Amino acid sequence: MGDVGLVVGDVEMLAGPDDAPLALRHLGGTGPAVLMSHATGLHGHVWAPVAAHLSSWSCHALDLRGHGLSPVPESDDLAWAGMGRDVALVADHLGPGVIGVGHSAGATALLMAAAAHPERFELLVLFEPALRPGLDPVPPALTDSQRALVEMTTRRRAVFSSRAEALASFARKPPFDTVTAAALHAYVEHGFADTDDGQVTLRCLPEVEAQVFARAHGHDLARRLHEVTCPVVVIRGDESAPHQIAASDALGEVFGRGAVVLDGADHFGPLSQPSRVARVVRDAVVGIGPVDGR
């Protein structure tokens, strides 16, 4: 159960559920606990720009297994059910009444944790969870688009001469060319490790990120959404891919609220429009409910 281990600056290392530690980042604020869960390939600190607008809540963000400062378990378990266990353990560590805020795979992991442990969550606010109700949760093989994503991710560059070079490189290319400077800086500053030869390398290696993408649907959450009993607010961008829009709208209907739409946002909305995402969180927490987003 999430015993506290080494505390290093703003990062707590917790004993994880599957033979590997989990990094929990403290992003500021005071008040009820907010647990933020990131998308595949990122890490908890990219939530810092959103947390900056939520100072009335105590904001925390975990690094999911294989991301940031959380290593891959020795069992090499990168199935999404494991990420759900990661989130559940951290929520238990933070205490009852946690407000979950998630993005893509991290949003799906929050749903898994809330389905298994509904008593731990007061509310979920989720930006485009990687889940579509009604689809077979365990397809027999990857689709062509999934296979292309896995192959592209495997070829991603992992090593740069410096963080400055990495920052300049990412700023020129999708999807990071649309995110805020603060979010991109957080991603690079905390998403790379120094190497012995003076260079820097991604903490979430391309082959790890590819494995996470490849195992995206090996779970039964789509059949268990009725087990999530806390209020759920789904957010999506109006410039996201059609399948992401369809999935978010369907989930919004499942939870009886529809989806909050952010104009001008794509799948990286939490990194490109942190103040507007934070506004939806604030309104949901204080009971106003989802806002228009425009």
The residue-averaged pLDDT of 200-228 equals 90
CA distances from 148 to 53, 135, 152 (A): 37, 20, 6
Integer Rg of the chain from CA = 18
- pLDDT of 246 > 90? The answer is yes
Lowest mean pLDDT among 36-45, 56-65, 110-119, 150-159: 150-159
**Which amino acid, residue 175?**
P
What is the pLDDT confidence band of residue 141, given thresholds at 50, 70 and 90? low
pLDDT above 60 (res 293): no
> C-alpha distances in angstroms, 108 versus 13, 201, 251?
23, 27, 11
Distances (CA, A) of 105 to 198, 209, 267: 32, 11, 11
Q: Which of 3-17, 195-209, 244-258 has the lowest mean pLDDT?
A: 3-17
- At 193, give phi and psi (nearest 5°): -115, 145
- What is the C-alpha separation between 97 and 75, in angstroms, rounded? 32
The whole-model pTM stands at: 0.92
Q: How far is CA 203 from the centre of its chain?
A: 16
Query: What's the CA gap between 266 and 198, in Å, rounded?
Result: 35
Q: Which of 110-124, 195-209, 254-268, 277-291 has the lowest mean pLDDT?
A: 277-291
Q: Which amino acid is at 146?
A: Q
pLDDT at 1 over 70: no
Distance CA 221, CA 240 (A): 23
What is the band of 139 on the pLDDT scale with cuts at 50, 70, 90? low
Query: Which pLDDT does position 276 carry in this prediction?
Result: 97
